[in-house]
Amino acid sequence: MHLLTFRVDDATRDAAHDAAHDPGGTGDTHHAGDAGDAGATRLGVLVDGDRVADLTALATAAGARLPLDLLGLIRAGEPALTTARELLAGAPATRPLAEVSLCAPLRPGKIVGVGLNYVEHVAESHRTLDTDRELPDRPVLFGKPSTAVTGPGGPILHNADLTKQLDWECELAVVIGTPAFRVAEADALRHVFGYSIVNDISARDQRRSGQWFFSKGQDSYAPFGPVVVTADEIPDPQRLDLSLKVNGELRQDSNTRHMLFGVARLIADISSGVTLEPGDVISTGSPSGVGAGMVPPQFLQPGDLVEATIERIGTLANPVVDAR
């Protein structure tokens, strides 16, 4: 399933919403606890690439117990996923994707970033960002706060008082499904709920004594989405094309098979000392093609549009806006 979180206002409450609440055509579409109020976030599924099934409305209409948000669904485990699949099995009414506003799929408890995880990015980082020339012998880890998360279409904040070097990084996001502590690499993928996209935005000139927290942790520096694809639809996360465009021009183009440390190794390494909880996100590192590595370097400016794409997941698009 391609799970998503969305909002819809009164102007876009079309017949799909009414049909989900009133399948018999009685005209009674009111339900206690209906999450269809204007502005409320709702849990949905992307159907056929361009339509949205409203799981919140479907569950209400069917009298089914289903969490109201994606984090709740993840924590509820396989029974909740089974319920969601059963609700979708009856060819439910849907609404056009263009008529809803997508939000970040969830707000992670923690985001674990991975640096220098593609060979060519290690080389360009050494050349332009003064990092080590040698390939790391274990994952390079850092944290991004959940307040950095913004959703599809959300603005990337460019504050020229803080940075003149705002950069992009298209990364595969791993969403944890079950608690993981001291997990063996062979068992690690069993703890994955699904996959998404994170654009690991970085203020290159705000790295402090080699530390990346402020450089990568500012508000809006973790665009996340547009969907979370459940792990059953991506059995091998190391065979996914990923790319990024700025204003329609290709900047990054690679495949997750080029990771130095694959998803399973990352989970095993992180969980050797840090408990990964349901809804946590691992942002697995960027391929080469970042702005700092270009000759001459190029960085994001207000008015730019950044589009990060990963095979089988979709495209995460975000505008850059002046935040001064």
pLDDT in tens, 59-77: 999 999 999 999 999 999 9
Q: Is the per-residue pLDDT at 20 higher than 60?
A: no
> How high does pLDDT run on average in the chain?
90
Q: Which two tokens stand for residue 48?
A: 């056929």
pLDDT tens-digit map of 141-185? 999 999 999 999 999 999 999 999 999 999 999 999 999 999 999
Cα separations (Å) of 221 from 84, 121, 164, 168?
Answer: 31, 19, 15, 9
Lowest mean pLDDT across 3-12, 57-66, 137-146: 3-12
Given a cut of 50, is residue 23 above it in pLDDT? no
Q: Which long-range CB contacts under 8 A does 183-191 form with residues at least 24 apart?
A: 183/267, 183/268, 183/271, 184/268, 185/264, 185/265, 185/267, 185/268, 186/264, 188/263, 188/264, 188/265, 188/267, 188/268, 188/271, 189/231, 189/237, 189/263, 189/264, 189/267, 191/267, 191/276
Neighbours of 227 (CB within 10 A): 24
Mean pLDDT of 315-322: 98
Interval 25-48 mean pLDDT:
60
Dihedral pair phi/psi, residue 89, rounded to 5°: -70, -20
pLDDT at position 90 is: 82
What pLDDT, on a 0 to 100 scale, did the predictor assign at position 296? 94
CB 190 within 8 A of CB 305: no
323 DSSP assignment? -
Res 80 pLDDT > 90 = yes
296 upstream amide cis, omega within 30 of 0: yes
> According to the model, what pLDDT value does residue 121 have?
57
pLDDT at 15: 42
Nearest alpha-carbon partner for 45 in 96, 15, 4? 4
- Inform me whether the pLDDT recorded for 135 exceeds 90: no
207-251 residue pLDDT tens: 998 889 999 999 999 999 999 999 999 999 999 999 999 999 999
More confident residue, 90 or 221: 221
For residue 303, the model assigns a pLDDT of: 98
Mean pLDDT to the nearest integer, 125-134: 62
Nearest CA among 200, 188, 184, 303 for reference residue 237: 188
191-212: average pLDDT: 95
Q: Which pLDDT band, with edges at 50, 70 and 90, does 120 fall under?
A: confident
